[in-house]
């Protein structure tokens, strides 16, 4: 046996070693999802007995089913399989396609949203243009169709008393009884015709104001408040959706900045009689109505009234019996006011919770219903993100905030009777990003947690933070889809660069796989820069997988959050006012100088990439600083802010009639003749958010200036370029282009 040992060793040397598979773009977008179970819309039932969520199929990452975790049984199961209810969803209506695009769920199928009834018995969901109801009392849960018609029914909502549903059909508000088995329903409004819509969230509400509905049930379920929106003042324009084999001309009311907006009427309809009372919205017609909410007594209705310039926001309470309105709170700013969803009317106290950025950071305040301030609840050089729940019995409010860092999100607690607003209790401890939803009594919550090394996990917690159960642990064990790539996963480094006036600018950096000291590497410089979104967060998203792929190809991956972005205080964000395309460029160039100073970065091989606002910023960097980058990719970029919508653009730039210099400087076309770096321009040819016109204008300008560039367009694709094959193709185009221009120089 001892004589055989050398032979065995020799054989072992020549046996092939099982190599780890390389991470590819194709695998990133294939099924099963490398991030593990795809979890969406986790909610606690009103009864507090179960948690529901949407989960994608292992073999089809875009097909969602409805799942539940039953707390008493400690069991997780699939409640409803979408294709067992409806085998083929069919073609979505144009309105539904647009709504899903604005909700960033355009590539998903199956059950993409659902609603609970107030008593926790029913679940409601739209599918294939009709509305379905699940009765959880039956076992197994019974699913039945509530509406049945040729029209496309959307936005279903169950009345608080659990007896009726409301929904939108053909631009009108409809209602049906939950015990209705024959699909009969009746219209509460009848003048909806496209120009007039009732109960529908208008384009601006969905895209820019964070409001996805246009109607609200009263607490007792006898009345519905709704917005009647008149779109006729909005400019009629033609949008071309260019597909592979046809061009569809769509006439659309699009509110270009500086042009007229919709006009509103706010009504309250009696469900039984259909009688409508209209509420006085004030003398100024050119306003926004971003939020509407009932007071607990059901006798009063609140609405928020925002001025056209967004420098004034009023909370108005209407007394329905006396037909009077009163402004109970007013917020003003020299720049703009950010909207929020933190208004909470507190039953039994005749008081409400409110958040404000008046002292420079978003914090919580408690008011009487007449607008008198009771007390401040939080303070400090950090920002509250959102209120998550109120425990009336114990007098506690729960909220998420950036108190630990703008790069992380955590859950906190504060007393409603606190005398120390600077002392809050942090409940989540793991470093990363905690997305929280609480039950109605704020006694338990579900937490969707992720970090740059942990894909999303779903867990159930008591209000003090103790974990009660894993719903989806999503641990990267041997059976996890990402396990084969785990050992090659490169860590993300976070840090700060001192910017103008000593302001810290947060960055993230990933070193390339196989990093060697003394070697210089190319850089994938990923930018966004827009006021509403941060890139530098300790969280998991598909971006993490793309970054890991690029790092695996030998690149340094880098991002910086410039001034103008949320979660670092209002003063930090206000730097962007009237300076879009200017302030971001200054800060990103500071990031570029930082990179050039690193001994492992090749300063001649830095490529910049951005999508949407990031595409705009990538273009502005390349054009205002020609020669600074070896190459750049801009996907779906804004090029001329005059072609973007009122609410977003005027918030930061005012009206073009009033601020022509800000619009001219912020226009990519103004600087396009300076482009000298290699550019790949990408755009979906049916984009209804950043219109394809933005890119065609740039194409024309570069051609007029005889400046070379590369172009990739996607017929039929919208802003997200979400088609299954298109997703793979676009990232192969992006990474392939940058690799060609950033590869090792010849000796």
Determine how many CB atoms are found less than 10 A away from the CB of residue 567: 24
What is the full DSSP assignment across 330-360? EEE-SS-----S--EEETTTTEEEEEE-TTS
Whether 687 is catalytic is yes
H helices present in 449-580, as ranges: 542-552, 570-574
- Strand 276-279 and strand 351-356: the pairing is unpaired
The tally of CA atoms less than 13 A away on the side-chain side of residue 544 is: 22
DSSP 645: B
On whether the CB atoms of residues 137 and 114 are closer than 8 A, the answer is: no
Determine how many CB atoms are found less than 10 A away from the CB of residue 111: 26
Please give the span between the terminal C-alpha atoms of the chain, in angstroms, as a whole number: 54
DSSP 457: E
Residue among 262, 152, 160 nearest 203 (CA): 262
Catalytic residue among 612, 678, 695, 722: 612
Residue among 320, 328, 324 nearest 220 (CA): 320
On whether the CB atoms of residues 225 and 266 are closer than 8 A, the answer is: yes
Catalytic residue among 410, 480, 719, 741: 719
Contacts by 188-195 with C-beta closer than 8 Å and gap 24+?
Answer: 188/224, 188/226, 188/269, 188/271, 188/274, 189/226, 189/228, 189/269, 189/276, 194/231, 195/230, 195/231, 195/232, 195/253
Contacts by 49-54 with C-beta closer than 8 Å and gap 24+?
Answer: 49/120, 51/446, 51/458, 51/460, 51/471, 52/79, 52/114, 52/116, 52/123, 53/446, 53/458, 53/471, 54/111, 54/112, 54/114
Query: How far from chain centre, in Å, is Cα 430?
Result: 23
Whether 688 is catalytic is no
For tokens 């009689």, name the residue.
273
Catalytic residue among 355, 687, 722, 741: 687
CA dihedral sign of residues 602, 603, 607, 608: positive
Distance, CA of 154 to CA of 148 (rounded, Å): 12
Residue among 169, 158, 175 nearest 200 (CA): 169
Residue 429 Cα distances to 7, 396, 506, angstroms: 55, 19, 21
For tokens 């409603």, name the residue.
416
What radius of gyration, in Å, describes the C-alpha atoms of the chain?
Answer: 27
CA dihedral sign of residues 5, 11, 14, 18: negative
For tokens 């699913």, name the residue.
143
Distance, CA of 342 to CA of 354 (rounded, Å): 6
Contacts of 294 (CB under 8 A, 6+ apart): 216, 217, 218, 219, 225, 300, 301, 302, 345
Residue 672 Cα distances to 503, 598, 641, 709, angstroms: 30, 30, 15, 12
Whether 359 is catalytic is no
**Catalytic annotation, residues:** 612, 687, 719
């Amino acid at each position: 046996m001892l004589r055989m040992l050398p032979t065995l060793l020799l054989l072992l040397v020549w046996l092939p070693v099982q190599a780890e598979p390389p991470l590819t773009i194709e695998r990133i977008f294939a099924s099963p999802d490398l991030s593990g179970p795809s979890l969406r819309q986790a909610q606690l039932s009103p009864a507090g007995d179960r948690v529901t969520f949407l989960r994608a199929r292992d073999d089809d990452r875009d097909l969602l089913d409805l799942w539940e975790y039953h707390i008493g049984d400690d069991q997780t199961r699939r409640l409803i399989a979408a294709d067992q209810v409806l085998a083929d969803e069919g073609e979505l209506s144009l309105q539904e396609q647009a709504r899903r695009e604005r909700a960033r769920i355009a590539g998903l199928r199956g059950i993409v949203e659902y609603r609970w009834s107030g008593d926790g018995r029913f679940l409601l969901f739209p599918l294939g243009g009709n509305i379905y109801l699940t009765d959880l009392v039956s076992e197994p849960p019974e699913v039945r169709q509530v509406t049945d018609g040729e029209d496309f029914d959307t936005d279903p909502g169950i009345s608080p008393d659990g007896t009726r549903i409301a929904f939108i059909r053909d631009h009108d508000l409809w209602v049906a009884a939950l015990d209705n088995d024959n699909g009969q329903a009746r219209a509460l409004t009848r003048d909806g015709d496209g120009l007039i819509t009732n109960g529908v969230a208008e384009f601006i509400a969905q895209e820019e104001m964070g409001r996805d509905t246009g109607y609200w049930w009263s607490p007792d379920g006898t009345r519905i408040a709704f917005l009647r929106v008149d779109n006729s003042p909005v400019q009629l324009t033609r949008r071309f959706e260019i597909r592979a084999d046809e061009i569809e001309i769509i006439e659309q009311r699009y509110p270009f900045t500086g042009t007229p907006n919709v006009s509103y009427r706010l009504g309250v309809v009696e469900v039984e009689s259909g009688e409508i009372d209209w509420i006085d919205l004030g003398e100024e017609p050119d306003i926004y109505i971003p939020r509407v909410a009932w007071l607990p007594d059901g006798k009063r209705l609140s609405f928020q009234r925002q001025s056209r310039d967004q420098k004034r926001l009023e909370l108005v309470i209407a007394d329905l019996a006396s037909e009077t309105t009163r402004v109970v709170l007013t917020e003003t700013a020299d720049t703009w006011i950010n909207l929020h969803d933190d208004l909470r009317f507190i039953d039994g106290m005749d008081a409400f919770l409110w958040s404000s950025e008046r002292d420079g950071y978003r914090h919580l305040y408690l008011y009487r219903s007449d607008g008198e301030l009771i007390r401040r609840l939080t303070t400090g050089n950090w920002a509250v993100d959102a209120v998550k729940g109120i425990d009336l019995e114990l007098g506690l409010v729960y909220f998420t905030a950036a108190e630990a860092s703008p790069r992380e999100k955590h859950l906190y607690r504060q007393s409603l009777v606190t005398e120390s607003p600077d002392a809050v209790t942090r409940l989540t401890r793991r470093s990363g990003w905690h997305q929280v939803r609480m039950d109605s009594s704020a006694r338990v919550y579900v937490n969707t947690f992720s970090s740059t090394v942990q894909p999303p996990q779903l867990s159930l917690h008591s209000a003090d933070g103790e974990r009660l159960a894993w719903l989806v642990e999503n641990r990267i064990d041997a059976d996890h889809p990402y396990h084969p790539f785990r050992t090659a996963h490169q860590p993300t480094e976070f840090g700060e660069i001192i910017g103008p006036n000593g302001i810290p600018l947060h960055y993230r950096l990933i070193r390339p796989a196989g990093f060697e000291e003394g070697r210089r590497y190319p850089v994938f410089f990923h930018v966004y820069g827009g006021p509403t979104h941060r890139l530098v967060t300790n969280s998991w998203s598909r971006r993490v997988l793309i970054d890991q792929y690029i790092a695996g190809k030998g690149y340094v991956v880098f991002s910086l959050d410039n001034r103008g972005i949320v979660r670092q205080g209002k003063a930090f964000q206000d730097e962007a006012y009237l300076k879009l395309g200017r302030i971001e460029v200054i800060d990103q160039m500071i990031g570029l100088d930082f990179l050039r100073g690193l001994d492992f970065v090749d300063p001649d091989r830095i490529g910049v990439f951005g999508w949407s606002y990031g595409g705009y910023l990538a273009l502005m960097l390349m054009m205002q600083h020609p020669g600074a980058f070896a190459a750049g990719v801009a996907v779906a970029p804004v090029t001329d802010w005059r072609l973007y919508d009122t609410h977003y653009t005027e918030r930061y730039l005012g009206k073009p009639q009033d601020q022509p210099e800000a619009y001219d400087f912020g226009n990519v076309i103004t600087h396009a003749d300076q482009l000298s770096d290699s550019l790949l321009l990408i755009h979906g040819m049916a984009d209804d958010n950043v219109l394809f016109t933005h890119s065609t204008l740039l194409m024309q300008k570069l051609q007029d200036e005889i400046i070379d560039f590369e172009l990739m367009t996607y017929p039929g694709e919208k802003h997200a370029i979400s088609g299954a094959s298109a997703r793979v193709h676009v990232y192969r185009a992006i990474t392939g282009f940058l690799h060609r221009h950033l590869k090792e120089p010849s000796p």
